[in-house]
């Protein structure tokens, strides 16, 4: 059979057959990996070594995705070829493959030994910092694994596991790699570690993001991240030669340090929104209450972002020449969320507030992306509009503003469950005295934003409440990402269909908590 080379694929390719090896496979469940499955992603490569990213939608996951296994070679036909997305691309290719209901995948028995085992495009350590704002490609690096730190817990109620490892290049330059979630807990060198010499291990890491913490560049794992110990690639030979004449020792945690006892979340009491509104502020427990709500609209006249100092994360002041942090004097900033929204459970509506790390899980994208979109297009960003109809189980406490104003605001401490996108918003029971919030029926056409991305947010809501920013800077935000969204029930919001359709195609958000176990190979 004549197979079409991957390099010759284009959107007009029809009735073609390709023969490819599955190099990597991972699931995408929203950037924080705790939402419903949206896509199964694949990195494929043909006999010429040309890579291409492939995608299997959630609806086809059981029928198609379960048949595809890493390292196997397949004949693929009846698929779509589309332009690749211009963000967080795992491979360098202008096109990608989308599986359809009619896509056929046939396993090739005894394939020729010419298919590549690794797909990578190395970035040298010196160029990591230059790629911190690069959202086009994920980053691949090669180095010697010199230090493995024990995993530790962070976040509200110690709910997130992270682990730092360190690699060095041949110039003794060190680079920190931060692993999240299952990738942090599953990282192990037991299959390749030589206890007799305790030497560093050559490691190829693929699918990472460049970030900065306390002024220093580092790499953060994504759902697309994977790694290979002692890879059989030409670039690794220099490291193997160095290990023969080097007395470097691998630093790793003890067995006791590796043992993490995951603390169980407290047995939080469940409350309805109406019950939360009736509780005396002084009676709120420190751990907060649990409530399940659907977002019904955005708060009017509430600025949803702020310029955050890249060094200390405090709010920076705008000057005639840019931004300036009055706390540490830094002039570099990142945009971060301070998001207010109205949500309901059918008993009442109430206002909720959250800072950047939680807001990113709700919106599904980093704030920088939305600020840019709001400044260059009409109306608020589609991603912000589309949080309406999302349902979450939250841990909330009373905002300090409750002691000085009539209208209560609840601060979101954490997200326990992402229930996804609902078809309807619950209809409220007779309103609580503080609630004078009419249900929004339509989102009007909005003019171009002039002074800030928050200018036209007022037009998203008929809520007359203006929140008091009482607990700004309550926490120092840690980078980790976002949530996703599917379907359920109540009051139909048809006008969101366009905004949500845009979001459905975003499959590599920043700083996602990984879920897939890593595949390791010997030399």
Q: What is the pLDDT of residues 443-498, one digit of tens each?
A: 333 333 333 333 333 333 333 333 333 343 333 333 333 333 333 333 333 444 44
Q: Which residue has the higher pLDDT, 325 or 131?
A: 131
pLDDT attached to residue 467: 37
User: pLDDT-based confidence at 434, cuts 50/70/90?
Assistant: very low
pLDDT above 60 (res 254): yes
Range of lowest pLDDT (48-62, 128-142, 264-278, 401-415): 401-415
CATH 3.40.50.300 applies to domain 273-492: no
At residue 60, the 3 state secondary structure works out as helix
User: pLDDT-based confidence at 331, cuts 50/70/90?
Assistant: confident
Compute the distance between CA of residue 159 and CA of residue 59 in angstroms, rounded to an integer.
30
pLDDT above 60 (res 209): yes
**Assigned architecture for domain 125-258:** Beta Barrel (2.40)
Q: Exposed/middle/buried for 452, CB within 10 Å: 0-12, 13-18, 19+?
A: middle
Q: Are strands 409-421 and 152-154 parallel, antiparallel or unpaired?
A: unpaired
Please give the class, per CATH, of domain 6-107: mainly beta
Instruction: Indicate the pTM of the whole model.
Output: 0.61
> Tens digit of pLDDT for each residue in 18-27?
999 999 999 9
What is the percent of the chain with per-residue pLDDT over 90, rounded to a whole number? 46
Averaged pLDDT, 390-411? 82
pLDDT above 70 (res 348): yes
Q: Six-digit token pair at 396?
A: 């909330």
Residue 157: left (phi > 0), alpha (psi -120 to 50), or beta? left
pLDDT above 60 (res 501): no
Backbone angles phi, psi at 346, to 5 degrees: 95, -15
Averaged pLDDT, 80-97? 95
Q: Six-digit token pair at 311?
A: 């060094």
pLDDT attached to residue 512: 42
Q: Which residue has the higher pLDDT, 84 or 193?
A: 84
Averaged pLDDT, 282-289? 88
Q: Are strands 424-425 and 174-180 parallel, antiparallel or unpaired?
A: unpaired
Averaged pLDDT, 125-149? 94
Q: Which residue has the higher pLDDT, 111 or 321?
A: 111
Q: How far is CA 265 from each of CA 180, 286, 290, rounded to the nearest angstrom?
A: 19, 13, 11
pLDDT attached to residue 260: 60
Q: How far is CA 311 from each of CA 105, 307, 333, 501, rounded to the nearest angstrom?
A: 50, 12, 8, 36
pLDDT attached to residue 507: 43
Range of lowest pLDDT (188-197, 376-385, 414-423, 479-488): 479-488
pLDDT above 50 (res 514): no
pLDDT above 70 (res 54): yes
Q: Six-digit token pair at 202?
A: 């050559």
The answer to whether the Cα torsion of 23, 108, 28, 162 is positive or negative is negative
Beta-bridge partners for 81: 97
Averaged pLDDT, 214-237? 95
CA 233 to chain CA centroid, nearest Å? 30
All residues at 6 or more sequence positions from 92 whose CB lies less than 8 Å from its CB, including other chains? 51, 121, 137
Compute the distance between CA of residue 136 and CA of residue 403 in angstroms, rounded to an integer.
46
Locate the domains of the chain by residue range.
6-107, 125-258, 273-492
């Amino acid at each position: 059979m004549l197979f079409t080379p991957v390099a010759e694929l284009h959107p007009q390719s029809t009735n073609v057959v390709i023969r490819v090896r599955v190099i990597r496979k991972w699931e995408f469940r929203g950037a924080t990996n705790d939402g419903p499955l949206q896509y199964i992603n694949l990195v494929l490569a043909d006999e010429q070594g040309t890579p291409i990213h492939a995608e299997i939608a959630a609806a086809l996951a059981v029928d198609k995705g379960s048949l595809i296994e890493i390292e196997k070679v397949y004949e693929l036909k009846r698929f779509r070829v589309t332009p690749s997305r211009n963000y967080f691309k795992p491979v360098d290719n202008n096109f990608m493959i989308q599986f359809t209901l009619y896509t056929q995948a046939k396993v090739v028995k005894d394939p020729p030994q010419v298919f590549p085992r690794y797909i990578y495009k190395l970035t040298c350590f010196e160029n990591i910092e230059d790629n911190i704002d690069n959202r086009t490609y994920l980053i691949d690096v090669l180095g010697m694994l010199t230090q493995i730190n024990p995993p530790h817990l962070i976040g509200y109620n110690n709910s997130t596991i992270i682990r730092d490892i360190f690699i060095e290049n041949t110039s003794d330059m060190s680079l920190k790699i931060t692993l999240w979630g299952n990738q942090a807990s599953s990282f192990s060198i037991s299959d390749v570690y030589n206890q007799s010499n305790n030497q560093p291990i050559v490691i190829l890491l693929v699918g990472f993001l460049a970030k900065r913490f306390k002024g220093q560049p580092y790499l953060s794992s994504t759902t697309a991240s994977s790694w290979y110990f002692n890879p059989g690639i030409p670039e690794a030979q220099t490291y193997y030669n160095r290990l023969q004449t080097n007395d470097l020792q691998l630093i790793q945690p003890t067995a006791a340090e590796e043992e993490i006892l995951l603390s169980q979340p407290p047995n939080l009491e469940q409350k309805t929104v109406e019950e939360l509104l009736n509780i005396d502020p002084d009676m709120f427990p420190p751990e907060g209450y649990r409530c399940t709500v659907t977002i019904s609209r955005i708060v009017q006249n509430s600025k949803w972002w702020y310029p955050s100092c890249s060094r200390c994360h405090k709010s920076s002041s705008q000057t005639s020449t840019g931004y300036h942090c009055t706390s540490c004097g830094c002039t570099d900033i990142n945009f971060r969320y301070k998001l207010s929204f109205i949500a309901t459970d059918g008993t009442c509506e109430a206002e909720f507030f959250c800072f950047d790390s939680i807001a990113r899980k709700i919106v599904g994208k980093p704030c920088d992306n939305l600020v840019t979109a709001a400044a260059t297009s009409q109306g608020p960003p589609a991603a912000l509009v589309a949080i309406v109809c999302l349902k979450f189980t939250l841990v909330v406490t009373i905002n300090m503003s409750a002691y000085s104003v009539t209208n209560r605001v609840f601060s979101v401490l954490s997200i326990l469950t992402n229930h996804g996108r609902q078809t309807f918003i619950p209809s409220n029971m007779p309103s609580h005295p503080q609630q004078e919030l009419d249900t929004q029926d339509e989102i009007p056409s909005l003019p171009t934003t002039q002074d800030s991305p928050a200018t036209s947010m007022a037009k998203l809501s008929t809520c007359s409440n203006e929140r008091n920013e009482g607990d700004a800077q309550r926490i120092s935000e840690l980078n980790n990402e976002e949530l996703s969204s599917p379907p359920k029930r109540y009051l139909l919001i048809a006008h969101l269909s366009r905004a949500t359709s845009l979001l459905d195609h975003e499959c590599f958000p920043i700083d996602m908590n990984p879920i897939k176990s890593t595949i390791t190979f010997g030399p």
